Structure 1
Amino acid sequence: MVALLLKLVFPPPPSLFIHSISLVCVAYSAFLGLSEKRGKKHLQYSKFWNATSRKSASTLKINLPSGTGMLFLYVPSFLAALTSLRLFPHRDLRVLLLSSALAIHFFKRVFEVLFVHKYSGGMVLDSVIRISSGYFLATTSMIYGQHLTQGLAEPAVDLKYYGVVLFLIGITGNFYHHYILSQLRRNGEKEYKIPKGGLFGHVICPHYLFEIIGFLGFSFISQTLHAFSVATGAIFYLLGRSCATRKWYISKFEDFPQDAKALIPYVF
């Protein structure tokens, strides 16, 4: 197993920062995902924007309009990825591909906020800060970690072009299902509906499934242990979030299809 892993990734760089961020990313994301699944504490956006735990219910919350909050989530990471394309000497194709993919990913997110998504609630500032910081740290640390690999021998198995394919599948599928969600409501409508079309007949969160595929694309392009840790963290969190979303739909709609899974068609 270790021998196979060594063929797939670069040697870990001598960086305490990267090692620490990798461990924190996996552990904290797993904690958030488990909390979401148990329904004890949600990151307060989308359907759970006004969810409160016993601890937070007694504290003052600052709410933001969803559009404003979503821009704060994605703009810093987009600017960081875009800036990296100018700061680092991209003689290495892998570094260029990773920075470009991250910039495209967050540009797509900003575009959706401005022109695609329709909102019915708000966002709690605490969640905005945590999510935005997480995205920004993941983006900058993946690019920095990739920069540290320049000059090292390439992994024996080259996955970067497979990563590009996964990234394109992930970003396309995610956008398509976000568009479907945006068409559920007419102008002025705010109530939620059971989504239909695409993979929504099989899973309630296909947009999360394609987001995971996109993060796997980043990790395949990068082939660093840190990038794989970021993808693992995203998987842990989105597994929990998708379970919470499915429970929410079941609680709100009597006609919700019971055979629809949370994230992976026919499996989970």
Structure 2
Amino acid sequence: MVLSALLRFIYPPPSNLFVIAMSVISLVSLGNSGIMEMKGKHLQYSKLWNYGTDQKISADKKAKISSKTGMIIAYTPAFLAGVGSFVLLPVGDFRFDLLRSAITIHFFKRIFEVLFVHKFSGWMDTEAATTITLSYFISSTSMIYSHYLIQGFPEPQRDLKYFGALLFLVGISGNFYHHYLLSKLRIKGDKNYKIPQGGLFSLVNSYASVPQALYVA
């Protein structure tokens, strides 16, 4: 019953070993990451670099790179996967082009923000950088390849691609705007975290009264 309802909105997954394997790996990896976060064992980067006494002692012994360098490394392979799909697979249907365009634009925006918007003050564990990079790259390539395989399939009964494209543009624009607001919280040389203001932050500020919950890009 549930599967039948879902197939009104989505394609059935292609019968492909790579796609199935990557889907399982991604699901297990994300589930494990969520459990680790709940236990307080965060990926060590930026403001979480030395979170907790035990992790701080461990972090001092680990190889590290600047957060800015780490995030550039994390986003670039996924961005190149999106760009490369247009070179390696120049002909695609409209849905396929939408998907790989969204991936390319998303990671281009991320790289642009790292270079010109965000203000970084922390470090990044090289192991965390590797984990994040692989996660983004594998997810991006799997989505691109999966959509490449389903080209020519009958459209779902409820076609949401135009609504999805509009939602993507609204979301990515709002995300960029709020990242810009976060970046303006810090003056040159400032490394403190502050309560964000403006935009939609007023809707969540009531949850940011504790110092540990304050965020800044």
User: Same fold judged by TM-score > 0.5?
Assistant: yes
Give CA deviations for 1:193-228 in whole Å, capped at 9, x if unaligned: 111111222226xxxxxxxxxxxxxxxxxxxxxxxx
177 and 74 in structure 1: CA distance in 2 versus 1, 3 angstrom threshold? same
Kept in 2: contact 1:120–1:191 (CA 8 A): no
Kept in 2: contact 1:46–1:121 (CA 8 A): yes
Provide the residue aligned with 2:33 in structure 1: 32
Q: CA deviation at 1:251?
A: 4.5
Q: CA deviation at 1:27?
A: 2.6
Q: CA deviation at 1:56?
A: 8.8
Give CA deviations for 1:73-125 in whole Å, capped at 9, x if unaligned: 11111111011011114331111111111110000001001100001111111
Provide the residue aligned with 2:210 in structure 1: 250
70 and 181 in structure 1: CA distance in 2 versus 1, 3 angstrom threshold? same
Provide the residue aligned with 1:12 in structure 2: 13
Rounded to whole Å, the distance in 1 between the matches of 2:74 and 2:190 is: 24
155 and 54 in structure 1: CA distance in 2 versus 1, 3 angstrom threshold? same
35 and 193 in structure 1: CA distance in 2 versus 1, 3 angstrom threshold? same
Cα RMSD of the aligned pairs, angstroms, is 2.2
- List runs of 5+ in structure 2 lacking aligned partners: none
- More deviation, 107-116/50-59: 50-59
Give the alignment of 1:160-239 within 5 angstroms: 160-203=161-204
- List runs of 5+ in structure 1 lacking aligned partners: 205-245, 257-268
Provide the residue aligned with 1:51 in structure 2: 51
Percent identity, aligned pairs only, is 48
Provide the residue aligned with 2:142 in structure 1: 141
> Which amino acid counterpart does residue 18 of structure 1 have in structure 2?
V
Provide the residue aligned with 1:260 in structure 2: none
Kept in 2: contact 1:181–1:195 (CA 8 A): yes
Shift >6 Å, 4+ stretches: none
Rounded to whole Å, the distance in 1 between the matches of 2:26 and 2:212 is: 33
115 and 58 in structure 1: CA distance in 2 versus 1, 3 angstrom threshold? closer
Number of residue-to-residue matches in the alignment: 211
Kept in 1: contact 2:50–2:56 (CA 8 A): no
Kept in 2: contact 1:13–1:145 (CA 8 A): yes
Provide the residue aligned with 1:76 in structure 2: 77
Rounded to whole Å, the distance in 2 between the matches of 1:21 and 1:52 is: 33
Rounded to whole Å, the distance in 1 between the matches of 2:65 and 2:112 is: 19
Give CA deviations for 1:121-179 in whole Å, capped at 9, x if unaligned: 11111111000110000001100000000122221111111110111111111111111
